[in-house]
Amino acid sequence: MNGSIAAETQTVLQFANAYSSMTFSIKGTKDGQPRDLTLSYSLVYATSTSYKVNFVYVNNTVTTDATMWATKGGTVLALYANGRNYTNGQAVTDYLANLMAPIATYYGFGAELATSSAYFHSTGSSTMTVGGDSFGVTNYTANSPNVAIPSCNGDSYYLTTYDMSVGTPSGTTFVIIPYMELVGTETTSGGSASISYVIQITAFTVG
């Protein structure tokens, strides 16, 4: 995964091409402290050269509303958040890191893991319902109860529990990860922390 804002923007735009709206839920704890995040996006329009996307980001009880205009290549043209226009590069970067990183990281990390037989294997198929849509998914779990996983952005994870479901809803060919559960330790440049998360896609609109 590329941690740059342009790469994260492109990931979000890839989602928006296939799903005009989507809601992500991230619930759990980090070092015992509760985490309760909800991130929704909705595509306002897409032209041959640009996109306009609305976001609602809820972190515990703090809500951020934002609108992003971006080129198809992932360059952010403008950002309007909480009643203000942001043109300063760092301010835009900070906002977008909060708004889009959960989507980019979740999708990229999950896709890496699902295709890595060194760490994970399929446990079979089932049907999952998200909102009013039911579709088939392939379920994955860790090869062993304790697995160490390096991540491409320099972070690493030592997981005691890992489960994930991957599927493609009707009407699109774009694969999503509607469910992921991970428990263990996350190590970043800032140190190590115990984590326990359930990450879900709770709603989407195809097209």
E strand segments, the chain: 19-30, 33-46, 50-59, 62-71, 76-81, 84-86, 120-130, 133-142, 147-150, 156-167, 176-188, 191-206
77-103 burial code (b ≥16 CB/10 A, e <16): eebebeeeebeeeeebeebbebbbbbb
In this predicted structure, what is the pLDDT of residue 3?
Answer: 39
Report pLDDT digits (tens) over 21-72: 999 999 999 999 998 989 999 999 999 999 999 999 898 889 989 999 988 8
Beta carbons of 7 and 74 less than 8 angstroms apart: yes
Q: CA angle at residue 130 from 177 to 142, to 5 degrees?
A: 35
Q: With cut-offs at 50, 70 and 90, classify the pLDDT of residue 112.
A: low
Query: For residue 135, with 0-12 CB atoms within 10 Å meaning exposed, 13-18 middle and 19 or more buried, which class applies?
Result: middle
Mean pLDDT of the chain: 84
> Residue 195: pLDDT above 50?
yes
Report pLDDT digits (tens) over 130-170: 999 999 999 988 887 777 776 656 677 788 888 889 999 99
In this predicted structure, what is the pLDDT of residue 2?
Answer: 32
Chain centroid to CA 129? 19
- CA distances 187 to 114, 156, 165, 191, Å, are 21, 5, 24, 6
Q: Is 38 helix (H, G, I), strand (E, B) or coil?
A: strand
Q: How many CB atoms lie within 10 A of CB 127?
A: 9
pLDDT > 90 in the chain, percent:
40
**Of 71, 74, 93, 95, nearest to 83 (Cα)?**
95
Work out whether the CA dihedral 69, 71, 73, 77 comes out positive or negative.
negative
Q: With cut-offs at 50, 70 and 90, classify the pLDDT of residue 198.
A: very high
Q: Is 204 helix (H, G, I), strand (E, B) or coil?
A: strand
> Residue 101: pLDDT above 90?
no
Alpha-carbon span 176 to 72, nearest angstrom: 21
Owner of token pair 């609109």? 205
